[in-house]
């Protein structure tokens, strides 16, 4: 009986943590131009919540955060995105680091699925 209650509380706390992460990253997006220092703090809090409750950030969320300085990336303002040989290359202007992610064209994905 006690384990069942514990499981429900754990599921509920993970769900709440996911919601808080989404809210914090939305605040980071909204406050980027007016308060860049707040944006960095929102990203930091979202990461800490994710680690505390063992909740992973989604792929789009992760790609908006610099892996090195944990800054909020806004293309054209503080980062540059280039497509190079089936790689998405993101350069952070704050720390100068480059993150690379693979991407596939639709034709390649369709060939793999068949």
Find the DSSP H helices in the chain. 2-30, 36-52, 59-63, 106-113
Mean pLDDT calculated for residue range 3-16: 81
Indicate the pLDDT class of residue 105, thresholds 50, 70 and 90: confident
Residue 4, pLDDT score? 67
Q: What is the pLDDT of residues 32-61, one digit of tens each?
A: 999 999 999 999 999 999 999 999 999 999
Q: What integer pLDDT is reported at residue 70 of this predicted model? A: 93
User: Can you give the residue range of the structural domain that contains 102?
Assistant: 2-113
Is 69 annotated to bind a ligand? Reply is yes
Output the domain CATH number for residue 32: 1.20.5.420
Return the pLDDT at 110: 65
Locate 70 and state its tokens: 């944990």
Number of structural domains (the chain) is 1
* Residue 79 annotated as part of some ligand binding site: no
pLDDT above 60 (res 13): yes
Q: Which residues 6+ apart lie within 8 Å of 27 measured at CB?
A: 38, 42
Task: Please give the pLDDT value at position 9.
Answer: 85
Q: What is the pLDDT of residues 95-104, one digit of tens each?
A: 999 999 998 8
Would the annotation count 92 as a binding residue?
A: yes
């Amino acid at each position: 009986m006690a384990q069942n209650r514990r499981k429900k509380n754990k599921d509920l706390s993970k769900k709440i943590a996911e919601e808080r992460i989404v809210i914090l990253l939305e605040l980071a997006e909204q406050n980027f131009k007016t308060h860049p220092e707040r944006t960095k703090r929102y990203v930091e809090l979202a990461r800490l919540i994710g680690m505390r409750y063992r909740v992973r950030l989604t792929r789009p969320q992760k790609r908006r955060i610099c892996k090195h300085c944990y800054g909020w990336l806004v293309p054209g303002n503080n980062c540059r995105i280039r497509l190079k040989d089936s790689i998405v290359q993101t350069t952070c202007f704050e720390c100068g680091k480059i993150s690379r992610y693979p991407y596939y064209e639709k034709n390649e994905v369709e060939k793999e699925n068949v």
